[in-house]
Chains A and B, each alone.
Chain A
Amino acid sequence: MTTTTSPKRITDIGPPNYEQFLPPIIKRNYGQWKYHETLAPGVLCHVAESGEKLYTVRAGSPRLLSVHTIRLFADLADKYCGGYLRFTSRNNVEFLLSDPANIEPLKQDLHKAGYPVGGANNSISNIVHTQGWVHCHSSATDASGLVKCMMDALYPYFVEEKLPAKLRIAVACCLNMCGAVHCSDIAVLGIHRKPPKIKHDVLPKICEVPTLIASCPTGAIRPATVDGKQSVEVLEEQCMYCGNCYTVCPAMPLNDPDNDGLSIWVGGKVSNARTSPKFTKLAIPFLPNNPPRWPEVVNAVTNIVEVYAHNARKFERLGEWIERVGWPRFFQLTGIEFTRYHIDDYKHAGLTFARSTHIRF
């Protein structure tokens, strides 16, 4: 009798150590960088204490990348920078060059391939976003499509650095906010507005009721008997449309083309520069979900960007500008309607009420 030994199963090794992926110039100067300067939009030069210079060329990507495109980036890295590259926290790709003579040819190759160079400093960098209809079960809208439409419109702000300060945009396709849009200069948030529609006929067959009840963060789901069968009911006033129930039970669909839409939020930041990190605040409570080009959203975001660019002082982030001029002027200058939905009525709502007579006219 023969026995075959299966190869040892490898687990729990964690990611490969990053050191093997660092270009030699970085290894030589690790922790010894002295200063940096910007040579052109999307082109940075970092200078080490040793005097060595590292050149970074940053290009935008749609984040959703084919293996073909990744190989294209790999080929460009081989051609121009010894095969070394990295990605940024905003899904840009960065080529790490030692030879400045390679900057222009690399930029031309990227341009020819359709990947714009930019996204640093006082630009609009790539929009961080979620999966949307490409791959998510609870999305109220698509994310990649919205990003594509907005970046088409805002393209000049990516390839040039002409804003008063950096401006960071994020898209999340529902309020679970996998993209953590709650601290961006501008956030586009997909919203559901109706509780899940319960499919009582199939629910007992495909869902575990106790698990379903436990999935609701607000305790809005209760057991109920419907037509003699075990099912659940939803206390509609407690539902905040998070989709957690649909995650564990496909008989609780939340998608509702007639009521799903988009909301726009402004004035958040994570950096500590000048002012503390801030949450985004509501600018527009509802815009229609209008694929494939979402003109209402694109126009609204472009308008906010242009009003900010025209009015803010140098170095002021969007939220810092609004704090200086006041929210009434933000609504006046952007032409956005102020509604009852803008006044907070959730926990600690009073913290956002105006508690002074500092009123501008």
Chain B
Amino acid sequence: MSENGKPKTKLLDELEKGPWPSFVTEIKKTSDVSPMCDDLLGQLELSYEEKKGHWKHGGIVGVLGYGGGVIGRYSDVPEQFPKVAHFHTLRINQPSGWFYTSDALRTLCGIWERHGSGLTNMHGSTGDIIFLGTKTDELEPTFAELTAAGFDLGGSGSCMRTPSACVGQARCEWACYDTMKLCNDVTQAYQDELHRPPFPYKFKVKCAGCPNDCVASAARADLSVIGIWKDAIQQDDAEVAKYAAAGLDIQRDVCARCPSQCMSWDGEKLAIENSDCVRCMHCINVMPKALRPGKERGAALLIGSKAPILQGALLSSVLVPFVPAEELMETIQELIKRIWEFWDEYGKNRERVGELIQRIGMPSFLDAIGLDPAPEMVSAPRDNPYIFFQNKEQN
């Protein structure tokens, strides 16, 4: 299988061809950092030959006092590839918006070169920095160096998972609140719940600055915070005219694409009936110099999205139609407190909040967390007659 300690990788070598940067090349060139990379390649080649994975989960590993942040991983062919017999992952909580200085990145690289494989994911699906592959006895030393450098682990298991945010007001004119600050504040406020899994299952918060939702908050967060504005779209007629002069077909490409048909164009003036606007972002996306979100900004809070496990995929749905930007943190903390209390008591093992709502019904969930029903929460009222009237409304 190997030559001079380097694995033969006939199949993987095929993945070094072509214009897109190759992960195989990344692993090969890290061989000078750790011999783990050679055995990783060897085992991966075996997976490519046999068309099956060779990792086991199993075994609780972690750092002292934390219940998450490390994913235990073991080879199921350790005799063949002893250097990856243990190959654990560390999740490291990313800074909001994934901003770094070169020095911060070099610090992280140095730590991982000393204690692990030298391989990373920038970043994992939830948003964390992923340190890919180390041995059990390297976990504490890695953690000590990380915390000394100001970094901490992210979440794993049935905990508050590492929150994430889009670039927000750092670079985007559409951000309706400070996504990066909210993400950081929420992360810091729930450190205990993040590091010591207390829940029936995972709980994710994602902060998107506008309805374009660049962090897929509506698809992936139990609590989706999606920026939105309340007043009129800010409109610069001179810039609208420039877009038209430059060849944009405003009638066809802007007005006709508006989902609520709230705008009209007479060849000179764009008229927007803002009371009909659903804040979809299309016209703003097409003409960023001419149109901008309004000035009364905040966020809509949506609840319950998740990937398919266990009962099927869900998208988040509206829970609070609008919270002013300056009240967001306080509102979210109060809401989270009520949701967690209820979920903790009534949620089944491995039941996400969205599935709990499916099981008991949204009206009961609203009762439990003390929110009044609002028509913004539904696309339509129920179309079946199976109404369970509450005792207090019966004689």
Chain A residues packing against B (C-beta within 8 Å): 9-18, 20-22, 26, 30-31, 33-37, 46, 54, 56, 60-71, 73-75, 77-78, 83-89, 91, 93, 96, 114-116, 128, 130-139, 141-142, 144-145, 148-149, 151-152, 155, 158, 172, 175-180, 182-183, 214, 217-218, 242, 244, 246-250, 255-257, 260, 270-275, 277, 279, 289, 291-293, 314-315, 346-347
Cβ of B247 under 8 Å from chain A: no
Q: How far apart are the CA atoms of A250 and B75 in the complex, in Å? A: 11
Query: Contact between B96 and A15 (Cβ–Cβ < 8 Å)?
Result: yes
- The listed residue (A9, A75, A182) touching B308 by CB distance below 8 A is A182
Chain B residues packing against A (C-beta within 8 Å): 11-12, 14-15, 17-24, 26-27, 29-30, 33, 40, 44, 47-48, 50-58, 64-66, 73, 76, 87, 89, 93-106, 108-109, 112-113, 118-123, 125, 127, 132-133, 144, 147-148, 150-152, 164, 166-167, 169-173, 175, 178, 180, 184, 187-188, 191-192, 194-195, 211-220, 226, 253, 257-259, 278-282, 285-286, 288-289, 292, 307-313, 315, 349-350
Contacts of B144 in A (CB 8 A): 9-10
Contacts of A14 in B (CB 8 A): 93, 152, 184, 187-188, 191, 194
State the Cβ distance, A280 to closest chain B Cβ, in Å.
9
Which residue of chain B is the closest to A46 with respect to CB atoms? B171
Of A54, A86, A260, A346, most buried by chain B (CB within 10 Å of CB) is A86
Query: Contact between A18 and B180 (Cβ–Cβ < 8 Å)?
Result: yes
Contacts of A65 in B (CB 8 A): 26, 119-122
Q: How far apart are the CA atoms of A77 and B147 in the complex, in Å? A: 25
Closest A-B pairs by Cβ, 3 of them: A152-B18, A74-B102, A217-B310
Q: For chains A and B in complex, what number of residue pairs have CB atoms within 8 angstroms?
A: 354
Of B164, B215, B309, most buried by chain A (CB within 10 Å of CB) is B309
- The listed residue (A12, A68, A130, A158) touching B195 by CB distance below 8 A is A12
Chain A interface SS verdict (over half): loop
Query: Contact between A177 and B307 (Cβ–Cβ < 8 Å)?
Result: yes
Contacts of A279 in B (CB 8 A): 313, 315
Query: Contact between A11 and B54 (Cβ–Cβ < 8 Å)?
Result: no
Q: How far apart are the CA atoms of A274 and B220 in the complex, in Å? A: 21
Query: Contact between B27 and A64 (Cβ–Cβ < 8 Å)?
Result: yes
State the Cβ distance, B96 to closest chain A Cβ, in Å.
4
Contacts of A242 in B (CB 8 A): 309-310
Query: Contact between A67 and B133 (Cβ–Cβ < 8 Å)?
Result: no
A-B contact pairs, 5 of them (CB 8 A): A46-B173, A68-B33, A273-B280, A289-B51, A292-B11
User: Could you list 17 further interchain pairs (A-B, Cβ under 8 angstroms) beyond the known A85-B105, A89-B216, A131-B121?
Assistant: A21-B95, A21-B99, A31-B169, A33-B169, A66-B119, A66-B120, A84-B100, A84-B102, A115-B21, A145-B23, A148-B23, A152-B20, A242-B310, A272-B213, A273-B280, A273-B282, A291-B48
Query: Contact between A17 and B184 (Cβ–Cβ < 8 Å)?
Result: yes
Given contacts A133-B48, A135-B55, whether A145 and B120 have CB atoms under 8 Å apart is no
Given contacts A37-B289, A66-B26, whether A183 and B12 have CB atoms under 8 Å apart is no
Query: Contact between B164 and A89 (Cβ–Cβ < 8 Å)?
Result: yes
Q: How far apart are the CA atoms of A179 and B127 in the complex, in Å? A: 11
State the Cβ distance, B170 to closest chain A Cβ, in Å.
5
Query: Contact between B48 and A180 (Cβ–Cβ < 8 Å)?
Result: no
Query: Contact between A270 and B169 (Cβ–Cβ < 8 Å)?
Result: no
Contacts of B95 in A (CB 8 A): 15-18, 21
Query: Contact between B53 and A139 (Cβ–Cβ < 8 Å)?
Result: yes
- The listed residue (B52, B180, B192, B259) touching A257 by CB distance below 8 A is B52
Query: Contact between A20 and B292 (Cβ–Cβ < 8 Å)?
Result: no
- The listed residue (A11, A68, A248, A275) touching B29 by CB distance below 8 A is A68
Q: How far apart are the CA atoms of A322 and B181 in the complex, in Å? A: 38
Given contacts A15-B94, A139-B53, A271-B213, whether A134 and B44 have CB atoms under 8 Å apart is yes
Of B51, B147, B215, B311, most buried by chain A (CB within 10 Å of CB) is B51
- The listed residue (A66, A71, A148, A314) touching B27 by CB distance below 8 A is A66
- The listed residue (B29, B125, B171) touching A130 by CB distance below 8 A is B125
Q: How far apart are the CA atoms of A85 and B106 in the complex, in Å? A: 13
Query: Contact between B118 and A67 (Cβ–Cβ < 8 Å)?
Result: yes
State the Cβ distance, B301 to closest chain A Cβ, in Å.
15
- The listed residue (A22, A71, A260, A291) touching B109 by CB distance below 8 A is A71
- The listed residue (A176, A182, A260) touching B52 by CB distance below 8 A is A260
Q: How far apart are the CA atoms of A36 and B212 in the complex, in Å? A: 15
Query: Contact between B52 and A274 (Cβ–Cβ < 8 Å)?
Result: no
Contacts of A217 in B (CB 8 A): 309-311, 350
